[in-house]
């Protein structure tokens, strides 16, 4: 898009004004997130050109990304979870649902877990994160029961914790997990969009409701930076407003 907009203009002729005019046009049809990505690309391009001495100065230095309001994460209420549980028609659906709900794991982490990683005695599991990092997460006794029922019902030799229903020898992939959760939501006639990461938000919200410190939640979610977990602090204010409206 930048090349098309600038046309035959030589890179050495590009000024800060030129870039601002280009980005102003893009802002009309772009959301703040998309515009931010575009600005980062432009800065990277001109920084590289400057470092390779194609330019004597970098015209993109003063470009600033748009401020993006942090959205309060959307979560499921207890009634939604009950509807999802009632909608389960197989052991693997219930086991998957309970696991997502009680661990707060990322979908990519769930995909990689093997059955042997489960510690039934401690109701815990070691999950692998990016960069070969690991963390221990815990699950409820209810989740333990359904995992045990599900694993006992399997006759395959696949090492994955969750396998596909149609091909039991194949590890359940991320698209299949998303599809399974969406199917449960459709059966339960839930009006909102239900996806695996929403269970992660719900997990964080429940910990907050129970008075869990943010630094503990950070560790359980596997966040590298405390600032990533801070977004859930907004749930406290949202929860207070909800309770005020309900009881005042």
pLDDT digits (tens, 9 = 90+) for 35-94: 888 888 888 888 988 888 888 889 888 888 877 656 667 888 889 999 999 999 999 999
Interior/surface letters 201-211, b for 16+ CB within 10 angstroms, e for the rest? bbbbbbbbeee
Is 164 found in the same domain as 99? Answer: yes
Number of domains in the chain: 2
pTM for the full predicted model: 0.69
State the Cα–Cα distance between residues 93 and 12, nearest whole angstrom. 59
Q: Is 59 within the bounds of a domain?
A: no
Q: Is 72 within the bounds of a domain?
A: no
Q: Where does the pLDDT of residue 226 fall: very low under 50, low under 70, confident under 90, or very high at 90 and above? A: confident
**CATH at residue 170:** 1.10.443.10
Q: Is 141 within the bounds of a domain?
A: yes
Is 212 found in the same domain as 141? Answer: yes
Is 20 found in the same domain as 96? Answer: no
User: In the beta sheet, which residues pair with residue 135?
Assistant: 127
Q: Is 66 within the bounds of a domain?
A: no
Q: Is 22 within the bounds of a domain?
A: yes
Is 177 found in the same domain as 109? Answer: yes
DSSP state of 53: T
Is 218 found in the same domain as 103? Answer: yes
Is 180 found in the same domain as 221? Answer: yes
- Rounded-to-5 percentages of helix, strand, coil across the chain: 60, 5, 35
Residue showing tokens 């977004």: 231
Q: Is 11 within the bounds of a domain?
A: yes
What does the mean pLDDT of the chain come to? 86
Tell me the mean pLDDT in the region 227-237: 73
Kindly provide the residue ranges of all beta strands, DSSP E only, lying in the chain, ordered along the sequence.
118-119, 124-128, 134-138
Is 151 found in the same domain as 28? Answer: no
State the Cα–Cα distance between residues 69 and 234, nearest whole angstrom. 12
Give the distance between the most distant pair of CA atoms in the chain: 69
Q: Where does the pLDDT of residue 13 fall: very low under 50, low under 70, confident under 90, or very high at 90 and above? A: confident
Q: Where does the pLDDT of residue 1 fall: very low under 50, low under 70, confident under 90, or very high at 90 and above? A: low
Q: Is 133 within the bounds of a domain?
A: yes
Is 230 found in the same domain as 116? Answer: yes
Range of the domain at 176: 78-247
Is 36 found in the same domain as 124? Answer: no
Q: Is 142 within the bounds of a domain?
A: yes
Q: Which helix (H) or strand (E) holds 190?
A: none
Is 242 found in the same domain as 130? Answer: yes
């Amino acid at each position: 898009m930048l090349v098309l907009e600038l046309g035959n203009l030589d890179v050495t002729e590009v000024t800060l004004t030129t870039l601002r005019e280009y980005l102003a046009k893009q802002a009309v049809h772009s959301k703040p997130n998309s515009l931010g990505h575009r600005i980062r690309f432009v800065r990277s391009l001109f920084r590289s050109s400057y470092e390779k001495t194609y330019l004597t100065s970098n015209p993109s230095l003063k470009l600033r990304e748009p401020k993006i309001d942090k959205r309060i994460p959307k979560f499921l209420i207890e009634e939604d979870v009950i509807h999802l549980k009632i909608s389960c028609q197989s052991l693997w659906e219930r086991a998957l649902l309970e696991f997502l709900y009680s661990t707060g794991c990322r979908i990519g982490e769930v995909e990689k877990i093997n059955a042997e990683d489960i510690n039934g005695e401690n109701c815990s599991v070691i999950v692998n994160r990016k960069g070969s990092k690991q963390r221990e997460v815990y699950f409820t006794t209810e989740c333990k029961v359904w995992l045990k029922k599900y694993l006992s019902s399997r006759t395959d030799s696949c090492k994955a914790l969750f396998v596909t229903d149609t091909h039991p020898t194949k590890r359940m992939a991320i698209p299949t997990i998303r599809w399974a959760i969406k199917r449960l939501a459709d059966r339960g006639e839930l009006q909102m969009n239900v996806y695996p990461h929403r269970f992660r938000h719900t997990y964080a919200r429940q910990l907050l409701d129970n008075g869990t410190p943010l630094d503990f939640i950070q560790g359980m979610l596997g966040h590298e930076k405390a600032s990533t977990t801070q977004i859930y602090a907004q749930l406290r204010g949202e929860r207070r407003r909800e309770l005020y409206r309900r009881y005042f």
